[in-house]
Amino acid sequence: MSSSIPVLDAACMVNGAAQERAEFGDKFLKGMVEHGFVKLVNHTVPLPIVQDTFSQIKKFFNLPLDVKAPTINDPKKGQQRGWSPPGEEKTWWLESNTGDIESPQFGDNKESFDCGDPNDKQFPNQWPAESALPGYQKTMDQFYYDCGQLCVDLLDIMAKQLQVDPCLFSSRCTNEASTIRINHFPPVSRDILESGQVSRIWPHNDFGIISLVFPDRTGGLEYEDRQNPGTFIPMPYKGDDEVVVIVSETMQRWTNGLVRAGLHRVTKPVDMVGDRVPERWSLVYFCKADRHVNVGPLKEFVNPEKGPVYENLTALEYQSMRNAVHYPEPAAAPVAVAG
């Protein structure tokens, strides 16, 4: 098995012949099972929408503090909405804590913004004033719907290839709980990242079903080499029309460990020179199960030889539990960690 993740042309999802779609499905599932990652080109999220969204998120992070502050995320609510200041999240606690560290430390060198379904009443979105950033909400809403449809299509492909009901996964995901996460990584001293106390994002799995990551031109996203656990490989970047699809923890739970979540991190670009790690942005869509849905193993993946290896929880219970891990204490006042 190669350590390189597959790069697949997704154009056949729309207008390909039956044989082309079947071959795509075979390769897509193989990549998700073997690596936890697949990269797609010519996917169905329109490139102008992706480019417009990147443009808008850069404008958001350049807003003055007094404009961003009213949208600040409350980590006690269990579901992220709005702006998370630099250092608020501590993803080190998700996979890197071996139990010998008690006090929260090991921060993330990033700020982020989260939003969900435009019609979500349970966890409503928090937007900056339209006058401060015209068109921001409209752009994010359109990006949300386009990514949601691509995810549903990919879930149906996975189910079909696994020889279960093609709607097994998508029937549990109307995208009511799915979210967009945008990240801004400010420039930072190389020494700070190499100190072992701060990372851009520590190694972690995502919590939902699958994730879509639209990479920035600045490198730093890396995925674990499953042939050499603990070793990470830089995610190559070829063009703006790419999206990386990542297996997340709910898919691993549903399939009883058959399709495992892909461990990944964000660090300094592997080929960087100099003492200053450059600024970076990323755009992520987390496809999540509906909140009331059970995220324990589905019966289709349980048998006498392998009983259920995960407990039954609702998606909301699981998401809230996992969110609490990387917000280990109430957030302090915003503190820059750019260095």
Please list, in sequence order, all residues whose beta carbon lies within 8 angstroms of the beta carbon of residue 303, skipping any fewer than 6 positions away. Answer: none
Of 127-131, 151-155, 162-166, 228-232, where does mean pLDDT reach its minimum?
228-232
Segment 107-126 mean pLDDT: 92
pLDDT band of 331, cuts 50, 70, 90: very low
- Both tokens of 98, joined, read 């071996």
Under 8 Å between Cβ of 271 and 302: no
Q: Helix (H, G, I), strand (E, B), or coil: what is residue 12? A: helix
| Dihedral angle computed from the Cα positions of residues 136, 140, 141 and 143, in that order, rounded to the nearest 10 degrees | 140
Question: CA nearest 318: which of 114, 172, 108?
Answer: 172
For 277-304, what is each residue's pLDDT tens digit? 899 999 999 999 999 999 999 999 999 8
pLDDT at 105: 59
Give phi and psi for 193, each to the nearest 5.
Answer: -65, -30
Question: CA nearest 223: which of 31, 15, 14, 82?
Answer: 31
pLDDT band of 79, cuts 50, 70, 90: confident
| In the chain, % of residues over pLDDT 90 | 65
pTM of the model: 0.91
Q: Is the dihedral of CA 38, 41, 44, 48 positive or negative?
A: positive
Q: Helix (H, G, I), strand (E, B), or coil: what is residue 307? A: coil
pLDDT at 259: 97
For 26-62, what is each residue's pLDDT tens digit? 999 999 999 999 999 999 999 999 999 999 999 999 9
